[in-house]
Each structure stands twice: as C-alpha cells, then as structure tokens.
C-alpha cells in the first residue's frame, strides 16, 4: 500500500516542534538517511480524538520528511481484542486522510519475540517466576523502598529454559508462571524491577488462532516491533516516559539490529525485517475538557446504554465525531493548532469547535431549514402562487454557484423568530411589526392565530416592492429571518447535539459522584423540522450550513432523500460559555 503523497502547498508554514527539530538534526548529521515512523494502536477499543493527535503527528511527519509510516496493531492481549476494532481503526486512519506504507501486526512477529526471549534466558537475563500477580506486587517495593528478589530469580539457565519451553507447550495454567527480565530490583524506576515479558494465556488469538498460549507483554513486544520494522523515531505519549529505560533495555539486550539470526522466522515466511535501533521520544497527550477519554469509561457508557453506541455523535471516538459530521480536515487543523510539546495541558472544547466552524464555514453550502416551525401565511398573495427564487449557495464563495428555492404564500418560520411580548432588543417579528424575509421582501404581521395559549399561525402581508432588485429593497427594517415554503418543504429529523457532560472535568470524584452523574440531559434533542428540497437531496455525510441555525451533516447511516436526517455538528457560534 502506497504512502499518501505529501501536500503540494508551498505556502504552508513549516512546523517546528521539538520532535521535528530532532528529526531534522538526525537527517542533517547523517544519523539516518531516511526516517520511518509508525502508528501502533492496540485493537482493544475504538480510537478517540486523543489518538487523532498521534495519527496526525506520525503520518504528518512521514509526509513532511518523505518517510514511510507503518500501521501496526500491537495485538498482544487477545482476551481484550476484536477484529471489529481492527477494521474500525483502519477506517479511521483513512478517514483522517492518511494511508500506511505497510500494515503490520505484533502477532506477525510472535516467533521472533519467542526466539528473543529464549536468547535472554540463555544469557541469564530472564528467568521463569512462579510468584502470583499479587505476590509480584508485594515483592516489587514502592517508590521509596527497593523491591525484593523473587525466590525464583536464582534458577539456572537450564531450568529456566526448560520451564519456558514448557510454558510454550501449554503445560501450565494461566497465571501459574511468567517470564521476567532480570534487571534490577533496587532500581529507582519500578518498570526496571524485573518486569514480566511473557505470560500464560490460554486464549485464541484473532490472527494466530490456537498457535500460542503464551503472549509477550506490551513493553517487550512494542520495543522489538519497532526494531524489527526499522522505526527510526518511536513517538509515544508522556505516560511512557518512565518506560523508556525498559524499552531501551529490550532493544539493546535482544540486539536485533546486530543479531539478524533472530529474524529467520520472518525471512522464512517471505517477510522483511529491517532490524534497526529505534529511539523513543515522548510528547504530551491530548487532554480536552467536557469529555472522558478512558477506554474503560467509554466502554461503560456504551455497555450501560448511556449512549447509543461507539459512534454516538456525542462520543469523543473518531467514529462518533465522524457521524456527528466533524470534517477530518477540522481534526487535522485542531492537531496543528494545539501543537506538540513536553508539557501536559488541558485544551478547551471550544478550540475544537472553532476548528470545526472554520473548516465547515469555508466548505459548506448554505441551505434553508426550520427546526421549530411556526406557520406564516402571506394573505396578499393568491392561493396557489408558486415561484422559484435564486439564492447563492455560499455568500463568500461564488464558485459554489446558485440554486433555485421554491416560494409560496404559506411558509414555515422559526417559532423563536416571533414573540407576542418581545423583550428589549428583539428585532424579529412581533404583532403589527415588520421583518425582512430572506430573499423575498418585507412582511408585516397583521394577525396572530392561537389555539388556547399557543400561537399556531401568523397572517402577514408582503410588501412586493421590497424584493431584492426592486426600488423598495432599500427600505430599512431591523430584522431578517429565514423560511421554507410549506408546499415544497421536506419533513426532516433533526438531531440537536451538544456536549455530553455539563462540567469541564467529568473525571473528578467528589461527594461520591462519578462521570455518570455529570452527563448532560440536554446533550441531544430530536426534533421534527422542515428543509428546502435541495437540502433533502444531499448525500449521506454531506456538510451544510442551515442559515442562522448552525452547521449540520446528513447522517451517514440513517439519511435518505425521502426521509432526511441531519445531525447538528456545531452551532454557528460558541453558545456554551453563555449558558
């Protein structure tokens, strides 16, 4: 699979974060003739917006410096992994606008990992330990106290090799034994206190089936996977900074970059192993308020029915953001705008919304829609009157062209655009007042029809001389409202989405509350509205601005021309702060 070509926009500013500076220095010094990066998700859940930052960084660097980027699934824990996640992740990466040079799996290298582990055993650098997980924790020590050696640390090389091979053969039950690296139980870095590098799991694997009953631990497999693929710069988030000494220990002590005999299983299978020595570099992860990004909590939201699924448009998953209508270009802009640093920070949700507005404002055609309809009748037009009015598709970009919008004497307007008793500063329709109908002219409200206390119809008069292009069009009124023709409008389901949580930090645990207690009861409202015919005919996943209402997107699954469904992607301006 070919790498997505680099952008050709020579005017794009050069990015200059600390990672790119390292890469430029490595290339200039001749340390690397070329670079290679990778995006290494674990297929144990759906990707979220935090992963988008890493995707944009790894694939973006590949584009900028002309280096291939691998998509590698670090599938070392089959108990939590699923092919569904694999396919969704591939779809998400492509949706964001990227493609990979090679598709790899950690499971492609299981034979190499096993040979590497045997090598460590033979060199006295790994041993089989019989301690339970709870006992391992007890022996590990604390941040202020050193750990204690396992009573099995002194086993001979021969005994360890025999036990490890018997582990491989399936002789022992889950949890009975682990293979641990022999490093330093007194290390100030707890990750170096003889970490496990293999554990027993009698669980079928999605790629290898029942071929294995022992699986490598993530830190061991990840480091060696980078080395096998010749990754030059292994980019990961700051929580792995304390793991870097273990990463380097695995790379250096296995020594794939100078012991190519370990790659024999790959070569026998016709796969290439580059076997270089990678460098791990950490950057700050994305933290954004008004959401949670823990896979455990996102899974709970889905399993407990608090959202409709992984692609619920309120979820921070890439599938959810896509279904809501977030353009991939907005996520790439968001990644650029927040930048890359070594300092953790909290990004305000409004920054993401601003990026969405910026992209959708430039790319979205305009259409007319009414989501809270009130009937308006123009009494001085003959019954059955109908005509087509021409409207620009984009007021800022003539290249979008124009369209014809049907007009008739009976219209739908927004209920919020009329008030019987208006507050000060209200410049829309009131009894006896005038307002401009967008593209039509000035109308006066002559009569208000009610059923009980509810207003059900406005009877108005149109001043025909105030139509655009006629001499009376210059007559001034303070308000302009939009409309759709009742005779031609298409009924539509409109889903008004808002933030999923009502507090900036839903992860805070106070007074016995959890993130579930901060769910926003108004995070979605489903209403029945009307849209002009040109909006109903849009294809699924088409972005549009409903004039005066916001940016909307046709639902990727439920939308049909005869039964349109629109998701509000973002409001026209930030309304959350005011609330």
d(CA 502, CA 508): 12
What's the pLDDT at 272?
66
Read off the pLDDT of residues 341-363 as tens digits, 9 standing for 90 and up: 999 889 999 999 999 999 999 99
Which residue out of 285, 403, 415, 467 is catalytically annotated? 285
d(CA 73, CA 71): 7
For the cut 50, the answer to whether the pLDDT of residue 5 exceeds it is no
Strands 102-105 and 543-546, sheet pairing = unpaired
What's the pLDDT at 257?
81
For tokens 């096993």, what's the residue? 114
- 3-class SS letters over 519-563: ECCCCEEEEEEEECHHHHCCCCCCEEEECCCEEEEECCCCCECCE
What 3-state class would DSSP assign to 390?
strand
For the cut 90, the answer to whether the pLDDT of residue 339 exceeds it is yes
For the cut 50, the answer to whether the pLDDT of residue 480 exceeds it is yes
Segment 367-381 shows an average pLDDT of 97
Residues ≥6 apart with Cβ < 8 Å to 318 = 46, 47, 48, 49, 51, 52, 92, 95, 96, 331
**Could you say which DSSP state residue 119 is in?**
H
What tokens were used for 52?
Answer: 């988008």
- Residue 322 designated active-site: no
Residue of 68, 65, 15 whose CA lies nearest to 332: 15
Segment 437-448 shows an average pLDDT of 96
The average confidence (pLDDT) of the chain is: 94
What's the pLDDT at 273?
65
What 3-state class would DSSP assign to 299?
helix
d(CA 148, CA 408): 85
Instruction: Return the higher-pLDDT residue of 108 and 345.
Output: 108
Read off the pLDDT of residues 177-193 as tens digits, 9 standing for 90 and up: 999 999 999 999 999 99
Could you tell me the CA-to-CA distances from 197 to 70, 80, 179, 182, 277 in Å, in that order? 24, 18, 6, 10, 19
Q: Beta strands of 396-533 (E only): which ranges?
A: 402-407, 410-414, 434-437, 441-451, 454-463, 480-481, 484-485, 490-497, 524-531
Which residue out of 15, 90, 295, 375 is catalytically annotated? 295
For the cut 60, the answer to whether the pLDDT of residue 11 exceeds it is no
What's the pLDDT at 510?
77
Beta bridge partners of 531: 369, 490
Whether the CB-CB separation of 485 and 406 falls below 8 Å is answered with: yes
Calculate what percentage of the chain has a pLDDT beyond 90: 88
Whether the CB-CB separation of 364 and 552 falls below 8 Å is answered with: no
What's the pLDDT at 10?
44
What's the pLDDT at 509?
77
What's the pLDDT at 344?
87
What tokens were used for 390?
Answer: 């021409």
d(CA 228, CA 262): 10
CATH architecture of 286-366+490-579: Beta Barrel (2.40)
Domain range annotation of the chain: 286-366+490-579, 369-482
pLDDT band for 484, please (50, 70, 90 cuts).
Answer: very high
Residues forming the annotated binding site?
A: 42-44, 48-54, 74, 218, 237, 285-286, 293-295
The region of weakest confidence among 62-66, 204-208, 343-347 is: 343-347
**Backbone Cα Rg of the chain:** 31
Segment 228-245 shows an average pLDDT of 96
List, edge to edge, every strand of the sheet that includes 434-437: 480-481, 434-437, 441-451, 454-463, 373-378, 410-414, 484-485
What values do phi and psi take at 480, rounded to 5?
-130, 130
Read off the pLDDT of residues 263-283 as tens digits, 9 standing for 90 and up: 989 888 777 667 778 999 999
Whether the CB-CB separation of 3 and 65 falls below 8 Å is answered with: no
Read off the pLDDT of residues 110-141 as tens digits, 9 standing for 90 and up: 999 999 999 999 999 999 999 999 999 999 99
Whether the CB-CB separation of 51 and 96 falls below 8 Å is answered with: no
Whether the CB-CB separation of 276 and 37 falls below 8 Å is answered with: no
pTM: 0.92
CATH class of 369-482: mainly beta
Segment 437-455 shows an average pLDDT of 96
For the cut 60, the answer to whether the pLDDT of residue 79 exceeds it is yes
d(CA 120, CA 255): 10
Whether the CB-CB separation of 173 and 213 falls below 8 Å is answered with: no
- Residue 42 designated active-site: yes
DSSP calls for 216-266: E-HHHHHHHHHHHHT-SEEEEEGGGGGGHHHHHHHHHHH-TTT-GGGGHHH
The sign of the CA dihedral 564, 568, 572, 575 is positive
Whether the CB-CB separation of 35 and 4 falls below 8 Å is answered with: no
Helix-, strand-, coil-residue percentages of the chain, each rounded to 5: 30, 25, 45
d(CA 59, CA 63): 6
**Could you say which DSSP state residue 429 is in?**
B
- Residue 296 designated active-site: no
Which residue out of 20, 36, 42, 495 is catalytically annotated? 42
Residue of 300, 488, 476 whose CA lies nearest to 387: 488
pLDDT band for 13, please (50, 70, 90 cuts).
Answer: confident
Domains 286-366+490-579 and 369-482 share a fold: yes
What tokens were used for 306?
Answer: 């608090």
pLDDT band for 1, please (50, 70, 90 cuts).
Answer: very low
Read off the pLDDT of residues 517-534 as tens digits, 9 standing for 90 and up: 999 999 999 999 999 999
């Amino acid at each position: 699979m070919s790498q997505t070509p680099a952008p050709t926009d020579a005017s794009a500013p050069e990015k200059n974060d600390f990672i790119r500076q390292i890469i430029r220095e490595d290339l200039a010094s001749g340390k690397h003739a070329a670079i290679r990066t990778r995006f290494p998700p674990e297929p144990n859940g759906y990707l979220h917006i935090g992963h988008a930052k890493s995707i944009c960084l790894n694939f973006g660097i590949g584009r900028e410096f002309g280096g291939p980027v691998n998509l590698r699934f670090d599938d070392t824990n089959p108990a939590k992994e699923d092919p569904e996640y694999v396919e969704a992740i591939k779809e998400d990466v492509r949706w964001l606008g990227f493609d990979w040079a090679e598709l790899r799996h950690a499971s492609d290298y299981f034979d190499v990992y096993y040979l590497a582990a045997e090598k460590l055993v033979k060199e006295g650098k790994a041993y089989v330990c019989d301690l339970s997980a709870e006992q391992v924790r007890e022996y590990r020590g604390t941040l202020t106290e050193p750990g204690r050696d396992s009573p099995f640390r002194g086993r001979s090389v021969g005994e360890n090799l025999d036990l490890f091979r018997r582990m491989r053969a399936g002789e022992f039950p889950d949890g009975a034994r682990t293979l641990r690296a022999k490093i330093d139980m007194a290390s100030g870095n707890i990750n170096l206190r003889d970490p496990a590098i293999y554990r027993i799991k009698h669980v079928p694997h999605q790629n290898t089936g029942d071929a294995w009953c022992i699986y490598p631990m993530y830190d061991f497999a990840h480091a060696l996977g980078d080395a096998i693929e010749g990754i030059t710069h292994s980019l990961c988030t700051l929580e792995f900074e304390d793991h870097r000494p273990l990463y380097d220990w695995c790379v250096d002590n296995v020594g794939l970059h100078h012991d190519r005999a370990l790659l024999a299983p790959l070569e026998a299978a016709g796969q290439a192993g580059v076997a270089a020595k990678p460098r791990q570099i950490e950057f700050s992860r994305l933290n954004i308020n008004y959401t949670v990004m823990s896979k455990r909590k996102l899974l709970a939201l889905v399993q407990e029915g608090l959202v409709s699924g992984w692609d619920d448009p309120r979820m921070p998953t890439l599938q959810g953001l896509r279904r809501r209508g977030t353009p991939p270009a907005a996520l790439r802009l968001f990644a650029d705008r927040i930048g890359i640093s070594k300092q953790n920070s909290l990004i305000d949700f409004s920054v993401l919304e601003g990026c969405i507005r910026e992209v959708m404002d430039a790319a979205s055609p305009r259409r007319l829609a009414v989501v809270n309809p009130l009937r308006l009748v123009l009494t001085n037009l003959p019954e059955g009157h109908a005509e087509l009015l021409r409207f620009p598709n984009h007021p800022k970009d003539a290249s979008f062209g124009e369209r014809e919008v049907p007009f008739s004497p009976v219209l739908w307007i927004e209920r919020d655009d009329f008030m019987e008793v208006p507050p000060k500063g209200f410049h829309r329709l009131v009894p006896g007042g005038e307002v401009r109908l967008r593209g039509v002219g000035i109308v006066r409200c002559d009569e208000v029809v009610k059923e009980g206390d509810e207003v059900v119809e406005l009877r108005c008069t149109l001043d025909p001389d105030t139509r655009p292009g006629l001499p009376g069009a210059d007559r001034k009124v303070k308000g302009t409202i939009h409309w759709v023709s009742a005779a031609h409008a298409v009924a539509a389901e409109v889903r008004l989405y808002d933030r999923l949580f009502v507090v900036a930090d839903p992860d805070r645990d106070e007074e016995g509350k959890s993130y579930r207690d901060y769910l926003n009861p108004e995070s979605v409202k489903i209403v029945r509205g009307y849209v002009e015919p040109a909006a109903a005919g849009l294809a699924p996943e088409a972005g549009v601005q409903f004039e005066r209402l916001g940016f909307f997107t046709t639902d990727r699954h439920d939308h049909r021309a005869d039964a349109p469904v629109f998701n509000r992607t973002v409001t026209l301006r930030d309304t959350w702060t005011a609330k």
